[in-house]
């Protein structure tokens, strides 16, 4: 459970006016000022505890803010590629550089927790290795790519008693924080339907197959894990808008995939020569939750669109997340009409220590992910995105892809709470 922090968000005069207008529109003045400003647990403040962090993966792993937290210091970094090791060394100002995770596990003596940002297909394996070494772990998404890996993570978490968090950015996008607060205060009424989508266009097809310098290839020209990766194996940027708002669990899913009928799509080596035997560029699913609600979740790899977005439908209010930017969200209230909801800059809240109160990547989420993991370890508690929530955002996609391979057959989703 999270608790409201103190109100340390200070919008401009214009935002104060927008906020008052929204509260009047919503008929929600009784909900209090904390509705728009609460993020999660407040930063625990003065503490002598220091978390010594290791970072694995110098691509996306070099875009977080562990080193800005007053209670954290990066004491080890590793990547298989020398250029990425150098990037990690410079970004985190860390001189303890290891040529591989295996070497870091064997030699490092000054690490308490590790941020695993290796390739998606290695996440579960690397999480297990680190937890069995005695380190808490935060990992990139997805948490795993099979049901067996999900069960393994559950078991290693049980055996070690260590903390795990998945670094899901949608959970801490500013509009999602707003929706979560509104839901917790009852502002939606019954939130019965969520539309969530993650669109990451793969771009030029010819270049995708021939450009050996893209991220779909390793430095030696071989395919990377991204080549042919099933869209629904990467569902968390969509499902973060469901689980991250209501906490619901998906119990059933039906999914359809599209591989393209034009020859240059259908016979493209991206689909015909991939390790996953995946025939789909894009996948769309309908999911049923444990509360009898519905979520439409899409993940598209080939489309004229981009980014993460959601719409939340309640019987008393509906919130439409805009495409891009932190503002322009629209809310419709029953018997009240429609108005624009000015989304606060939540990164000014007291969930974050002063050095981390700045904008960051993926819709402002990077500083929240960094702070929440460190805060949880300082306070000796579970992170907000614990293993149960992480698997609830990951496993439905694994099953959804199986459904797409079976022409949309509705399949049950195993629970890992």
Supply the pLDDT for residue 219: 86
Average pLDDT, the chain: 87
pLDDT tens-digit readout, 205-237: 878 888 877 889 988 889 999 999 999 999 999
pLDDT in tens, 17-52: 333 434 443 443 233 344 445 555 666 767 789 999
φ/ψ region of 94 (left if φ > 0, alpha if ψ in -120 to 50, else beta) reads: beta
Find the helix or strand (DSSP H, E) in which 259 lies: none
Q: How many other CB atoms sit within 10 Å of the CB of residue 10?
A: 11
**Beta bridge partner(s), residue 314:** 191
Please check whether residue 169 is in contact with residue 369, taking contact to mean a CB–CB distance below 8 angstroms. Answer: yes
Please check whether residue 360 is in contact with residue 65, taking contact to mean a CB–CB distance below 8 angstroms: yes
Which tokens is 119 given? 């390739």
Nearest Cα neighbor of 236 from 317, 90, 319, 123 is 123
**In the chain, domain spans:** 173-350+386-412
Pick from 201, 225, 207, 217: nearest CA to 276: 225
Better-scored residue on pLDDT, 177 or 212: 177
- What is the tens place of the pLDDT at every residue in 91-123? 999 999 999 999 999 999 999 999 999 999 999
pLDDT digits (tens, 9 = 90+) for 180-195: 999 999 999 999 999 9
4 has a pLDDT exceeding 60: no
Q: Which of 143-147, 203-207, 321-325 has the lowest mean pLDDT?
A: 321-325
- Contact assessment for residue 51 and residue 374, using Cβ atoms and an 8 Å cutoff: yes
What are 350-409's pLDDT values in tens digits?
A: 778 899 998 887 878 899 999 999 999 999 999 999 999 999 999 999 999 999 999 999
Residues 143 and 197: their CA atoms lie apart, in Å, by 19
Q: Using one digit for the tens of pLDDT, what is the confidence trace for 68-79? A: 999 999 999 999
Percent of the chain with pLDDT over 70: 85
For 411, list phi and psi in degrees, rounded to 5.
-125, 145
pLDDT at 339 over 50: yes
Asked whether the predicted pLDDT for residue 333 surpasses 80, the reply is: no
CATH level 2 (architecture), domain 173-350+386-412: 2-Layer Sandwich (3.30)
- What pLDDT, on the 0 to 100 scale, is given for residue 215? 85
């Amino acid at each position: 459970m999270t608790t409201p922090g103190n109100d340390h968000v200070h919008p401009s005069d214009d935002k104060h006016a927008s906020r008052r207008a929204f509260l009047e529109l919503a008929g929600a003045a009784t909900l209090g000022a904390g509705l728009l400003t609460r993020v999660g647990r407040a930063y625990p403040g003065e503490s002598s505890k220091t978390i010594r962090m290791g970072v694995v993966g110098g691509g996306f792993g070099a875009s977080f803010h562990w080193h800005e937290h007053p209670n954290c210091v990066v004491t080890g970094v590793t990547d298989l590629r020398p250029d990425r090791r150098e990037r990690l060394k410079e970004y985190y100002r860390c001189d303890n550089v290891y040529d591989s995770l295996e070497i870091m596990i064997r030699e490092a003596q000054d690490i308490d927790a590790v941020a695993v940002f290796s390739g998606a297909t290695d996440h579960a394996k690397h999480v297990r290795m680190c937890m069995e070494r005695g380190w808490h772990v935060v990992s990139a998404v997805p948490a795993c790519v099979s049901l067996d890996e999900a069960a393994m993570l559950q078991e290693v978490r049980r055996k070690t008693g260590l903390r795990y968090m998945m670094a899901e950015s949608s959970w801490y996008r500013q509009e999602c924080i707003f929706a979560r607060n509104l839901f917790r205060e009852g502002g939606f009424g019954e939130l019965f339907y969520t539309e969530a989508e993650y669109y990451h266009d793969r771009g030029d097809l010819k270049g995708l197959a021939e450009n050996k310098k893209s991220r779909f290839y390793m430095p030696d020209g071989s395919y990377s894990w991204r080549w042919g990766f099933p869209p629904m194996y990467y569902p968390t940027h969509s499902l973060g808008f469901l689980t991250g708002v209501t906490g619901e669990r998906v119990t059933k899913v039906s999914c359809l995939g599209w591989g393209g009928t034009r020859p240059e799509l259908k016979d493209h080596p991206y689909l015909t020569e991939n390790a996953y035997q995946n025939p789909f560029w894009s996948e769309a699913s309908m999911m049923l939750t444990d509360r009898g609600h519905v979520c439409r979740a899409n993940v598209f790899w080939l489309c004229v669109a981009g980014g993460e977005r959601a719409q939340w439908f309640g019987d008393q209010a509906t919130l439409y997340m805009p495409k891009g930017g932190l503002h322009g969200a629209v809310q419709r209230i029953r018997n009240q009409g429609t108005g624009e909801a000015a989304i606060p800059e939540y990164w000014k809240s007291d969930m974050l220590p002063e050095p981390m109160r700045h904008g960051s990547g993926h819709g402002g989420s990077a500083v929240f992910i960094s702070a929440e993991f460190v805060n949880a370890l300082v306070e000796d508690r579970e992170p907000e995105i614990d293993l149960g929530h992480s698997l609830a955002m990951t496993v439905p996609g694994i099953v959804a892809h199986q459904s797409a391979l079976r022409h949309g057959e509705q399949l049950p989703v195993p629970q890992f709470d």
